[in-house]
Amino acid sequence: MNISNFLKRKVLFSLLIFFPSFSISEVINLKCFNEVLEQHGYIKTRVVRFSLGEFSKLARMSAKGYPLVEFDLDITPTHYLIGQYKSASKEDLITIFSINKTTLTLEQDSFFSQQNAPKDRRSCVIE
């Protein structure tokens, strides 16, 4: 009986230690924003947060004043592609957002692309 309790405690302890690290590796939280040049330097505008599920292939976007929106996620060697598939076969993704994995630059933003001046810098940081 002592061995059984010892094993249960050891398994529970192992799960508590290792489970959070697995869950962190499955989800990437990004805070993306435009940096607009003002008189006193760059200011952050239009802050959008993404929660990217690497294994679930699901992206959630939240922005102040907007409801939580879910998108499909495709991860390439160089980019996170966020959008919607044309069909249930999940073959053709209509990309709405494209984020460079190395530089964390928001390279494509189909929602607000016409509102952004070309001089604005678009960046993301891992939260």
Which pLDDT value is given to residue 64? 82
Q: What pLDDT, on the 0 to 100 scale, is given for residue 24? A: 40
d(CA 99, CA 102): 9
pLDDT of residue 119: 53
pLDDT of residue 78: 94
> 68: exposed, middle or buried (C-beta count within 10 Å: 0-12, 13-18, 19+)?
exposed
pLDDT of the residue at 87? 85
Cα angle: 20, vertex 18, 3; to 5 degrees: 135
| pLDDT level of residue 115 (50, 70, 90 thresholds) | low
Q: What is the pLDDT of residues 18-70, one digit of tens each?
A: 444 343 457 889 988 877 777 777 667 778 888 998 777 888 888 888 788 89
The pTM assigned to this predicted structure is 0.68
CA dist list (Å): 30 to 6, 13, 16, 87 = 40, 30, 25, 27
The domain spans of the chain are 26-126
